[in-house]
Amino acid sequence: MGILNLTPDSFSADGLAGRTDEAVSRALEMEAEGADIIDLGGESTRPQAPEVDAEEELGRVLPVLERLVGRLKVPISIDTYKAVTARRCLEAGAHLINDVWGLKRDPELVRVVAERGVPVVIAANQRDSPAKGDIVAEVRADLERGVELALKAGVARENIILDPGIGFGKTLEQNLALVWRLEELKYLGRPLLLGTSRKSFIGAVLDLPAQERLEGTAATVAIGIARGADIVRVHDVGPMVRLCRMSDAVVRGKW
């Protein structure tokens, strides 16, 4: 999953808000580099980032989405927790929704996903309630609640993807533990998405700014695949595609 930030305040300094031509070119480039999904986001999810309303979010995302639909051969994901944004983008041709709040922020979002019959990524987010016990157990419980919400609303089980939510209200030690113990979430029976790319826990270990965390990201992606990740969400698509192919060859005997 290639990351296309359409914000002015991305933590990784790759935001393309208002630069539609560049954003479209970058999406097509990521597809050519081997991305299987392109994830468009119009609101920064970095800590302390200001929230934006649906109108502003749509103003950033829709112009790019509308130009990519029909040109990209791979599915387009929308990174949002807002039902209004999700509905408009799905109507415009998006294929799945990536909710970093795990269906907890906007109760209408799960209904939109169910009505449209599209896949949804449900993330474990500890920003409102930091984990005090075993982080894997708390993430597991959070994801179980998200799955229950989705199923009750009519989302098909096969349309559910789970994300442990690396970086969302978790400490350095908790993030490291989640990558290493990722396989403990496989019992939930759904594909696991791992989003470690350029995140601050990598910077904390290596003492490097976001733009210099390629190798740190690569280490977490390779280990994540070995521990059961099915989808990896990354900024640097080309190098990570090659890493994934090699990791899959070792771990799964596929290339």
Q: Which residues are catalytic?
A: 199, 233
Side chain identity at 7, as an amino acid letter? T
| Contacts (Cβ under 8 Å, ≥6 apart) of 163 | 98, 100, 121, 122, 123, 124, 192, 193, 194, 195
Q: How many whole angstroms separate alpha carbon 173 and alpha carbon 136?
A: 12
d(CA 210, CA 3) in angstroms, rounded, equals: 14
* C-alpha to C-alpha distance for 158 and 152, rounded to whole angstroms: 14
Spatial separation of the C-alpha atoms in residues 47 and 231, rounded to whole Å: 23
Which of 59, 75, 82 lies closest to 118, judged by CA?
75
Q: Position 42: which residue type?
A: G
Residue 27 C-beta-side C-alpha neighbours within 13 Å = 30
